[in-house]
Each structure stands twice: as structure tokens, then as C-alpha cells.
Structure 1
Amino acid sequence: MYVAAALSPRHRIDSFDCGKEELNTWLSKHALHAQSSSTARTFVWTEADQTDVLAYYSLAGHVVEREVLPKKIGRGSPDQIPAVILARLALDERLHGRGLGGVLLVDALARAVEASMNVAARLMVVDAIDESAATFYEKYGFTRIPGTMRLIQKMSSIKASIEDSPSSSETS
């Protein structure tokens, strides 16, 4: 069983390796600083009663300009649309191939939906690190903004998907 918690200095991040140096470096050199300066919140997975980080994601507040969105998503929105950005999402290589990437994503999306109940956000945004990541997000209902690696999904769609699926509060 994996436990999700906010990143803290007690977590061991030195052995984390997702296979993407940019994501490893961000966790080891920037995540705690971003957390302390309130520019991003990072949540980690560990095994129960352990501190070694096995997966993480970071969330932050964001704004999207309506003019860059496909019309069906931007319609009816103000010029600047409140959003949550999934700034990072990574799974240690030890967990690859187990279908846990989707579980980690649902954990992040559920947390964003919960936050949007208190601080309005109409969209969820992700900037895919590469084509493989973009394809992964598309499988979970995200729509790519043409000509970019940015993908978006309405928070209302995410909320409906989460409500229709089995509970994602526990991971294994």
C-alpha cells in the first residue's frame, strides 16, 4: 500500500529515479523550495511507515487565456480562466509497468477537484514533458491545445469522472 502525503524535509528523495532527469532534478532541487514559497505543492507516495519517495506530483494555481483554447472549451469563459496546473507527475522506475501512473494521476486530479471546491478553478492544465506523456494524458480525457504540448480538461469533467469511478483514496 502506498501513502500519499505533502512533501516534507523528512522524505527521502535521494534515491528517486523516474528515468527523466528533468523530473528527478526538480524533485531533488526545487520541490521543497517551491513548497516553502507557496508556488507549488508537492505530494509524494511512500510505502506505509517509510520515507523513501516512490512517486510525486506537484500542483499550482494557474490562469489560462481563453483565446488559446479550442472554442468548445473556452466558450462561456472569461478572458482569463482560473485553473490548476499539474506541474509535475512522476513514478519511480521501480513502479513502472504496474498501471500505477493512472492511479497517481487520479490522486492528483481528485486533490485538484477538492481544492476547486474552495478556490474556483474551471480547468486542469498539464504541460506534457514529451509525446509519450501527452498520449498518456489524452487517455485520461485531456485535450491538447493545437501546436503545443499543453493539455487541458474541464474541472467539471474530471469531477464527474471521479464520482463515477471506484474510490481512489487508497492505492496499492
Structure 2
Amino acid sequence: MPFISEALGEHHETSQFDSSKPSLDAWLQQHALTTEARRTGRTFVWQNQGRVIGYYTIAAHLIVRDELPRALGRGNPGQIPAVLLARLALDKSLQGRGLGGALLADALDRIVIATQTVAARFVVVDAIDEVAHAFYIHHGFRDIPGTMRLIQKISDIAAALAPE
């Protein structure tokens, strides 16, 4: 990976982060540390000399089986443990170089490791727009028809990330 992710801290410079998605930028700058303090989400950053250049936030989540396509929900309990990939953004200075996929792989690797301790069956993403939706489809997520929600089995992610 081109950068090593680390937990967001007060020492990280977030004010100049610009992903070209104002809502993602504002969330990092105004809410990420509070979310961290409340333990409702964990944010990890790529940084360059303290300046955040990429980030993702993950949180525990539950999926209601009846909201899934039958093929994915069948055989699962009524509520299925999952991990929510709540935010993922790359500074526009790094966009267009394939680094978004590397940032996603970083997040998914961290999730797979975490689920060796705390069980979860799926990773869930709520795409912010059609471009993000297509990005996640490209990276193996399946969409939930009629929504911007996408999911991927953690077992499939683990297999894809396993060294050959």
C-alpha cells in the first residue's frame, strides 16, 4: 500500500482535506473526532506530514435479513452482524491514480482482521452518489435493488485479500 493508515487523532491536520465532496470533507473536519470520542465510529487516515490525504470510517452495524435479496438473506438470523463502511474519501490531489481502490483495500483488510475477534458477516456501504455506487460495484460489492446500499460478504473479502 502506498500509505499506512493510522487512527485519527487531534494532531492530524484535516482543514485542508478536499475530496471534491463537501459533505465528506465537512464530516471529517467537524464530526470525525466526536464520533471517535463517543465510540460510534473509528476513523483511520492516510497522512502526509500530518495532513490528512485520505480517510475511512468504520462502525458496527446490523442488517435486517428481510431487507436483503433472498439469495443473500437466506439462512441468516433476523438481524445479521455487519460492519458499516460509513465514509471513504481521498483528497483530490491523489484521485485518478487508483489509490481509491488501495484505500478501500486498506479499510477492508482492517475489517477482516477485526472480524477475527468480533464476528460479522457483511460489509455494508451506503454510496453517496452514482459514481461511488459504481466504484463499489467495481470492487465486488453487490447492490441492494432500489437503494444506494451495497454489501459484500466478509468471507469473500478475506478470500480476495489472502496472499496467494
Superposed pair shares fold, TM > 0.5:
yes
Measure how far apart 1:81 and its partner are: 0.1
- Asked if 2 retains the 8 angstrom alpha-carbon contact of 1:126 and 1:152, the reply is yes
Q: Which amino acid aligns with 1:120?
A: A
Cα displacement string for residues 80-138 of structure 1 (whole angstroms, at most 9, x for unaligned residues): 00000000000000001110000000000000111111000001000000011001000
**Structure 1 outlier segments of 4+, above 2 Å:** none
| TM-score, normalised by the number of residues in structure 1 | 0.93
- Asked if 2 retains the 8 angstrom alpha-carbon contact of 1:45 and 1:53, the reply is yes
- Asked if 2 retains the 8 angstrom alpha-carbon contact of 1:17 and 1:92, the reply is yes
1:21 aligns with 2:19: no
| TM-score, normalised by the number of residues in structure 2 | 0.97
Q: Which amino acid aligns with 1:87?
A: A
Q: Which residue of 2 aligns with 1:86?
A: 85
Distance, in Å, in 2 between the alignment partners of 1:61 and 1:150 is 16
Cα displacement string for residues 44-83 of structure 1 (whole angstroms, at most 9, x for unaligned residues): 0013xx1000000000000000001011111111000000
Q: Which residue of 1 aligns with 2:157?
A: 158
- Asked if 2 retains the 8 angstrom alpha-carbon contact of 1:39 and 1:60, the reply is yes
- Asked if 2 retains the 8 angstrom alpha-carbon contact of 1:57 and 1:86, the reply is yes
Q: Which residue of 1 aligns with 2:3?
A: 2
Distance, in Å, in 1 between the alignment partners of 2:31 and 2:138 is 29
Q: Which residue of 2 aligns with 1:32?
A: 33
Among all aligned residue pairs of Structure 1 and Structure 2, give the percentage whose two residues are the same amino acid: 53
Structure 2 unpaired stretches of 5+? none
Matches within 5 A, 1:7-156: 7-47=8-48, 50-156=49-155
Q: Which residue of 2 aligns with 1:168?
A: none
Distance, in Å, in 2 between the alignment partners of 1:16 and 1:24 is 6
- Asked if 2 retains the 8 angstrom alpha-carbon contact of 1:73 and 1:154, the reply is no
Measure how far apart 1:18 and its partner are: 0.1
Distance, in Å, in 2 between the alignment partners of 1:158 and 1:4 is 19
Distance, in Å, in 2 between the alignment partners of 1:55 and 1:107 is 11
Q: CA RMSD in A?
A: 0.9
Distance, in Å, in 1 between the alignment partners of 2:95 and 2:31 is 23
Q: Which amino acid aligns with 2:12?
A: H
